[in-house]
Amino acid sequence: MAFDKDAIIASLKEASISDLNDLVKAIEEEFDVSAAAPVAVTGAAGGDAAAKDSFTVELTEPGAAKVKVIKAVKDITGVGLKDAKDLVDGAPSAIKEDVKEDEANDIKEKLEAAGATVTLK
């Protein structure tokens, strides 16, 4: 007998909740599996993620207005024009690391205003 997934799906659509519950229990017993969703265990790192206080501003994509983005990177980082161009050409690249959230958001706004795509990490 061939496996007919369409027939099985049609049968499941017509089944009651009670029938589906019984089916899940039978499958769990037959194949020694559990249909319960896995529970993530959070340790000390999980608590630190909520209170993150330093960010890295990453230029993901320079966009169409590359010259404006290069100028913005130069102004933000204080590097020379060639170094700013290298950062933009090397995207994705970290523009500024270990900055506070307010400063990171400010940098992100400036780069996005110039046409870039930015990610905070």
The full set of domain ranges for the chain reads 55-120
**What is the Cα–Cα distance from 105 to 120, expressed in whole angstroms?**
8
Out of 3.90.1150.10, 3.60.150.10, 3.30.1390.10, 2.30.110.10, the CATH code matching 55-120 is 3.30.1390.10
CA 21 to chain centre: 34
Rounded distance, CA 63 to CA 76, Å?
A: 17
Note the pLDDT tens digit of each residue in 36-94: 766 555 555 544 445 677 888 898 888 888 899 889 989 988 888 888 888 888 878 88
Global confidence as pTM: 0.55
